[in-house]
C-alpha cells in the first residue's frame, strides 16, 4: 500500500509538471511571442516562424524530435528510472501541447497588451515548476536540463551552478530567437520569463529557508543545551557571553533546527528558562549530520544505475 501511494504521488507530480510546461508554452509563450527554454525555445521559434505552413512545425512535434538525441544520451548516462520518467514527461508534454494546438485552445484566451506582464509572470512560474517537480520524482524535463544535471553529477556542481548553466543555454536561444524574429519584445519578455522561472526553480529545489538557527541567551545554558539536544535530536553550541546592560555572565546556546521543530523548540526554551532571550534566523543551507544533503541525494539518483 505504501509503495502504491509513493507511485501515485510521483506520477501525479510528473503529470502536473507536463501540464505546467504544455500550458505555459502553448497557451502563454507562443501567443505572446515568448521564447522559453533551450529545446522548448527552439520548438517555440519554429512554431512562430513556420507553423502556418504546416502542422509538422507545431511546437509539440519539435519538442519531441529535438529531445530524441538527448533521451538517448540520458539512457546511456543515467539510471533507468531517471531515463524512463524523463521519456514519459517528454511524451506526455508533447501530446498535451499538440492537443492544445489542434483544438486551438489558445484562441479561447484574450490577450491584451496591458496584461502581457501578468501572463509572463504566470508562464514563468509554470515553467519554473516543472524541473523541481521532475527532480522530486527522479526525472528531468529533457533539453538543457539533462546537460545541466550531467554537469552537476559529473563535475560536482551545486544546484545553483547547474541552474545557471541551464539559464545560460536558455539565454543563448533567447538572443538568437530575438534576432531571427527581429523583435526586441521577444528578448525583453523572454528574459523576464527566464528570471521568474529561475527564482521558482531555486525556491522549490533548495527549500528556501527550510532550516532555522535558534540563539538563546540564558542563565541555564547547560540545562538548555541538554534539553534542546534531547528534545530536537540536534547538536548545540554554548558560547560564554556577558550581558551588556547587567554585566552578568550568561550563556548563548546555538542550535540549527528544521522549520517544523520551531514550535517544540519554543516550548523547550520556555520550560527550561522562561526569562531566556531567544531569536530565530533563516538558514539557507546546512551541511552536516541530521540534515539532508540534497546535492548528494540528487547525484546518487542520477548516477546509480540500479
Question: What is the enclosing helix (H) or strand (E) of 165?
Answer: helix 159-181
pTM: 0.73
The per-residue pLDDT for 291 is 53
Q: With CA atoms as reference, report the closest residue to 33 among 144, 164, 174.
A: 174
| pLDDT tens-digit profile, the chain (306 residues) | 777 888 888 899 999 999 999 999 999 999 999 999 889 999 999 999 998 888 888 999 999 999 998 888 778 877 788 889 999 999 999 999 999 999 999 988 887 877 888 998 999 999 999 988 888 888 888 888 887 777 776 776 666 677 778 888 999 999 999 999 998 999 999 999 999 998 888 777 665 446 888 999 998 999 999 999 999 888 899 998 887 777 788 899 999 888 778 889 999 999 999 889 898 988 766 666 555 555 544 555 554 555
* Phi and psi torsions of 74, nearest 5°: -65, -40
Q: Compute the chain's Rg from CA coordinates.
A: 24
Residue 134 CA to its chain's centroid (Å): 9
Q: What is the pLDDT of residue 238?
A: 92
Burial class (CB in 10 A: 0-12, 13-18, 19+), 163: buried
Taking CA 228 as the corner, what is the angle to CA 227 and CA 230, rounded to the nearest 5 degrees?
Answer: 65
SS3 243: coil
Residue 157's pLDDT is: 64
Chosen CATH of 211-283 out of 2.70.240.10, 3.30.70.120, 3.10.580.10, 3.40.50.280 = 3.30.70.120
Cell matching residue 201: 526553480
User: From CA 27, how far away is CA 65, in angstroms rounded?
Assistant: 21
Q: Quote the pLDDT of residue 268.
A: 94
Joined grid coordinates for residue 265? 523548540
Structure-block grid coordinates of residue 50: 513556420
Q: What is the pLDDT of residue 190?
A: 94
Torsion of CA 141, 64, 174, 187, to 10 degrees: -100
Three cell numbers at 248?
Answer: 552578568
How high is the pLDDT of residue 5?
81
Residues with Cβ < 8 Å from 47, sequence gap 6 or more? 30, 57, 58, 59, 62
| 305: number of Cβ within 10 Å | 9
φ, ψ at 250 (rounded to 5°): -135, 175
Domain with CATH 3.30.70.120 in the chain: 211-283
What is the reported pLDDT for 178? 93
Dist. CA 23–CA 123, nearest whole Å: 8
**Grid coordinates belonging to 101:** 494546438
Determine the pLDDT at residue 287: 62
* The predicted structure's pLDDT at residue 296: 47
Amino acid at each position: 500500500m505504501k509503495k502504491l501511494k509513493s507511485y501515485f504521488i510521483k506520477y501525479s507530480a510528473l503529470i502536473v509538471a507536463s501540464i505546467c510546461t504544455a500550458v505555459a508554452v502553448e497557451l502563454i509563450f507562443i501567443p505572446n511571442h515568448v521564447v522559453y527554454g533551450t529545446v522548448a525555445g527552439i520548438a517555440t521559434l519554429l512554431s512562430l516562424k513556420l507553423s502556418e505552413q504546416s502542422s509538422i512545425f507545431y511546437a509539440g512535434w519539435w519538442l519531441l524530435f529535438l529531445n530524441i538525441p538527448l533521451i538517448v544520451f540520458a539512457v546511456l548516462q543515467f539510471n533507468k528510472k531517471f531515463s524512463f520518467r524523463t521519456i514519459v514527461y517528454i511524451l506526455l508534454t508533447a501530446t498535451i501541447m499538440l492537443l492544445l494546438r489542434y483544438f486551438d485552445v489558445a484562441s479561447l484566451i484574450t490577450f491584451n497588451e496591458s496584461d502581457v506582464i501578468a501572463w509572463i509572470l504566470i508562464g514563468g512560474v509554470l515553467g519554473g515548476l516543472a524541473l523541481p517537480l521532475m527532480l522530486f520524482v527522479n526525472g528531468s524535463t529533457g533539453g538543457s536540463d539533462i546537460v545541466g544535471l550531467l554537469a552537476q553529477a559529473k563535475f560536482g556542481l551545486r544546484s545553483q551552478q547547474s541552474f545557471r548553466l541551464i539559464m545560460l543555454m536558455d539565454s543563448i536561444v533567447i538572443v538568437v530567437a530575438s534576432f531571427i524574429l527581429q523583435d526586441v519584445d521577444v528578448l525583453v519578455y523572454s528574459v523576464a520569463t527566464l528570471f521568474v522561472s529561475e527564482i521558482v526553480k531555486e525556491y522549490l529545489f533548495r527549500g528556501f529557508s527550510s532550516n532555522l538557527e535558534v540563539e538563546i541567551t540564558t542563565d541555564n545554558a547547560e540545562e538548555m543545551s541538554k534539553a534542546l539536544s534531547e528534545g530536537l535530536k540536534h547538536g548545540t553550541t554554548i558560547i560564554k557571553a556577558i550581558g551588556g546592560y547587567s554585566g552578568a555572565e550568561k550563556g548563548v546556546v546555538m542550535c540549527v533546527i528544521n522549520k517544523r521543530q520551531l514550535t517544540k523548540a519554543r516550548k523547550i526554551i520556555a520550560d527550561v528558562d522562561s526569562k531566556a532571550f531567544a531569536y530565530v534566523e533563516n538558514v539557507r543551507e546546512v551541511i552536516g549530520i541530521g540534515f539532508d544533503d540534497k546535492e548528494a541525494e540528487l547525484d546518487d539518483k542520477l548516477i546509480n544505475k540500479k
